[in-house]
């Protein structure tokens, strides 16, 4: 494989990335990581290990204090405001705190992600319905998200992250509040998107979701990558 | 097209969600436009009255003796040198007598034993018809007084001065109410939008994270401001029109209205007021949303 082809296959690249919080917290130290297009990667580690910080760096919610962060070959530090907006439309992020609008309905929360990419109304309706069906929330379409349980809110947040069929999916503890059945539904959806070609990074404590898989697992400890479980069979290969 | 639908949908949702503050802003804009338009209407009508009065406005310089043609030419040259005038008419003693006789009508008998040249000859100067001519009348009068052979200069000095003072006062009121309109519309709309932005900080944060463009985020607020300006000014002018009709109805048949017909704004002026208000409000909202597009 030539160098340029190899580069084109890389979706996420972090080189010696450092992120510090005052007064002296090292959230990430010298983190280097490369994730191929169509790969599903699990980030594990205890609370405070730096998983969420790493995901936040990838959609430029935060900036690194050191090192380089590249998405699809673009250095995030050098992107203009307009390019950042365009990039974020290609990223679907499911936040740990869900970031839902509590007074809006489930449908509105999901539609919002598609409206900012100017999707047709018919597509928005169809996609919302499909995702809610798949996540077992069909009956909640017109419910206010404030009235939902934590597990349901989490699934709405995941549905919104997947709504635009993004190239990069970042999920922060996506199954933290889910029962086994819902977890299974979510992982099936993620896997479908991976097969479609999406790159997926999942930060999780839940070892059950990656224990019996071939996907790569990175363990973070005190802001450093300390362990990697590699499986070359599924890293970046689209089916 | 999808962009348009998305932005319009967002604008309509915003309006419904914050209808109470929107309503208060609308009332404020309506009142501001009403105040401004009310004084403007009075002012423009006063200008019309001024023009109408100006049509009859003339300075009469009474002379000690009948000017010969050469002297008439000299007077004409000196007057034109001072200022542009509409017309200069030389009235001989005989012509003045005839006019007077005509004015007396059936009472003309009183002139029976009077000589036909008992009235002094005069020069009637008709200034150019504009409101500004009123301001120049006094200076013109003083100048005519300096011309050789002029005994006395007459014009309706007192009413002209009073009228001019009133027009000046109205001009100040219009300028002040116009400033008030600009300030209230811009600041009220900007403030309402700012409050809305604060109350929707969570949603705006989410929109930024979802990659919404600056246009997508700002446009609904921009439209919201413009719509407030459009509706507020239209309501203000409609209220003024109702008030105008009511006043007209109350004074139907009055001598004052007969002499000086009071008219409402013509369509281009209505369009200008509505257009400017819309623009001001849109500008107000645009300025408030500058910071929210930071990624």
- Answer yes or no: is A237 within a domain: no
Which pLDDT belongs to residue A7? 47
Nearest residue in A to B6, CA atom: A115
Q: Which domain holds residue A110?
A: 3-229
Q: CA–CA distance from B194 to each of A12, A57, B25 (Å)?
A: 38, 30, 13
* Contact: B211, A117; criterion CB under 8 Å: yes
Q: Which residues contact A184 (CB under 8 A, 6 or more apart)?
A: none
Per-residue exposure over B46-55, b if at least 16 CB sit within 10 Å of its own CB, e if not: beebbeebbe
Considering chain B, what is the average pLDDT of its residues?
84
Reduce the secondary structure of B73-125 to three states and give it as a string: HHHHHHHHHHCCEEEEEEECHHHHHHHHHHHHHHHHHHHCCCCCCCCCCEEEE
- pLDDT for B133 beyond 60: no
Residues on B contacting A at a C-beta cutoff of 8 Å? 2-3, 5-6, 9-10, 202-203, 205-214, 216, 293-295
- Nearest CB partner across the interface for A118, out of B2, B205, B207: B2
Nearest residue in A to B294, CA atom: A81
Q: Which residue has the higher pLDDT, A47 or B164?
A: A47
Architecture of the domain spanning B58-154: 2-Layer Sandwich (3.30)
- pLDDT for A8 beyond 60: no
Instruction: Tell me the two tokens of residue A58.
Output: 């990838």
Least confident interval from A2-16, A156-170, B48-62: A2-16
Which pLDDT belongs to residue A1? 42
Q: Specify whether the CB–CB gap between B42 and B224 falls below 8 A.
A: no
Which pLDDT belongs to residue A233? 43
- Answer yes or no: is A236 within a domain: no
* Contact: A116, B295; criterion CB under 8 Å: no
Which pLDDT belongs to residue B259? 64
pLDDT band of B54, cuts 50, 70, 90: low
- Nearest CB partner across the interface for A116, out of B202, B212, B295: B212
Residue A42 CB neighbour total at 10 angstroms:
23
- Answer yes or no: is A83 within a domain: yes
Which pLDDT belongs to residue A80? 93
Which pLDDT belongs to residue B91? 92
Q: Give the DSSP H/E element, type plus range, for residue B271.
A: helix B267-288
Task: Tell me the shortest Cα–Cα distance from B225 to chain A, in angstroms.
Answer: 21
- pLDDT for B294 beyond 80: no
Task: Tell me the shortest Cα–Cα distance from B9 to chain A, in angstroms.
Answer: 10
Q: CA–CA distance from B84 to each of A86, B77, B87 (Å)?
A: 67, 11, 9
- pLDDT for B295 beyond 60: no
* Contact: B9, A115; criterion CB under 8 Å: yes
Which pLDDT belongs to residue B254? 67
* Contact: A81, B211; criterion CB under 8 Å: no
- Answer yes or no: is A132 within a domain: yes
> What is the count of structural domains for chain A?
1
- pLDDT for B243 beyond 90: yes
pLDDT digits (tens, 9 = 90+) for A125-147: 999 999 999 999 999 999 999 99
The domain segmentation of chain B, as residue ranges, is: 2-52+162-293, 58-154
Residues on A contacting B at a C-beta cutoff of 8 Å? 59-61, 81-82, 84-91, 93, 99, 101, 112-113, 115-121
* Contact: A89, B9; criterion CB under 8 Å: no
Q: Specify whether the CB–CB gap between B123 and B60 falls below 8 A.
A: yes
- Nearest CB partner across the interface for A85, out of B2, B202, B212: B212
- Answer yes or no: is A234 within a domain: no
Q: What angle do the packed helices B157-199 and B19-56 form, to 10 degrees? A: 160
The enclosing domain of A96 has a CATH number of 3.40.50.300
Q: Average pLDDT in the A214-237 region? A: 76
Nearest residue in A to B213, CA atom: A85
- Nearest CB partner across the interface for B295, out of A60, A113, A120: A60
Least confident interval from A38-52, B126-140, B188-202: B126-140
Question: Chain B partners of A116 at a C-beta cutoff of 8 Å?
Answer: 6, 207, 210-213, 216
Q: Which residue has the higher pLDDT, B101 or A113?
A: A113
């Amino acid at each position: 494989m030539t160098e340029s082809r190899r580069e084109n296959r890389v979706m996420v690249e972090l080189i010696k990335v450092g992120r510090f919080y005052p007064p002296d917290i090292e959230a990430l130290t010298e983190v280097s990581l490369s994730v191929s297009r169509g790969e599903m990667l699990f980030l594990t580690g205890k609370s405070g290990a730096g998983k969420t910080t790493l995901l936040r760096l990838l959609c430029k919610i935060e900036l690194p204090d050191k090192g380089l962060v590249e998405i699809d070959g673009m250095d995030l530090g050098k992107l203009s405001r307009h390019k950042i907006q365009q990039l974020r439309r290609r990223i679907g992020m499911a936040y740990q705190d869900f970031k839902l609008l509590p007074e809006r309905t489930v449908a509105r929360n999901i539609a919002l992600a598609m409206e900012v990419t100017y999707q047709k109304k018919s597509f928005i309706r169809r996609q919302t319905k499909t995702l809610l069906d798949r996540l077992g929330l069909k009956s909640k379409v017109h419910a206010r998200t404030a009235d939902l349980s934590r597990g349901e809110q989490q699934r709405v947040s995941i549905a919104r992250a997947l709504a635009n069929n993004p190239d990069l999916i970042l999920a922060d503890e996506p199954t933290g509040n889910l029962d086994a059945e819902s977890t299974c539904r979510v992982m099936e959806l993620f896997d479908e998107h991976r097969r479609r070609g999406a790159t997926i990074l999942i930060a999780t404590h839940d070892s059950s979701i990656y224990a019996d898989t071939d996907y790569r697992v990175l363990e973070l400890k005190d802001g450093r990558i300390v362990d990697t479980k590699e499986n070359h069979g599924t890293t970046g290969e689209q089916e | 097209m999808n962009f348009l639908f998305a932005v319009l949908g967002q604008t309509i949702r915003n309006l419904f969600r914050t209808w109470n503050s929107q309503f208060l802003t609308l009332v404020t804009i309506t009142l501001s436009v009403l105040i401004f338009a009310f004084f403007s209407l009075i002012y423009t009508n006063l200008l019309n009255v001024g023009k109408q009065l100006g049509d009859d406005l003339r300075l009469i310089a009474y002379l000690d003796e009948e000017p010969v043609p050469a002297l008439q030419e000299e007077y004409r040259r000196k007057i034109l040198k001072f200022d542009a005038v509409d017309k200069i008419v030389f009235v001989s003693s005989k012509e003045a007598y005839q006019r007077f006789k005509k004015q007396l009508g059936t009472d003309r008998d009183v002139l029976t034993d009077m000589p036909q040249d008992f009235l002094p000859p005069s020069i009637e100067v008709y200034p150019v018809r504009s409101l500004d001519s009123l301001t120049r009348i006094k200076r013109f009068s003083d100048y005519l007084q300096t011309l050789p052979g002029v005994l006395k200069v007459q014009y309706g000095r007192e009413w002209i001065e009073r009228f001019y003072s009133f027009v000046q006062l109205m001009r100040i009121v219009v300028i002040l109410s116009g400033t008030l309109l600009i300030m209230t519309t811009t600041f009220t709309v900007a403030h309402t939008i700012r409050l809305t932005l604060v109350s929707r900080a969570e949603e705006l944060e989410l929109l930024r994270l979802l990659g919404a463009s600056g246009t997508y985020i700002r446009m609904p607020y921009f439209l919201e401001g413009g719509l407030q300006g459009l509706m507020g000014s239209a309501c203000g002018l409609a209220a003024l029109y109702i008030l105008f009709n009511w006043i007209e109805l109350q004074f139907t048949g009055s001598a004052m209205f007969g002499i000086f017909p009071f008219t409402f704004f013509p369509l281009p002026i209505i369009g200008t007021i509505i257009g400017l208000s819309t623009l001001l409000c849109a500008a107000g909202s645009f300025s408030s949303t500058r910071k929210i597009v930071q990624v």
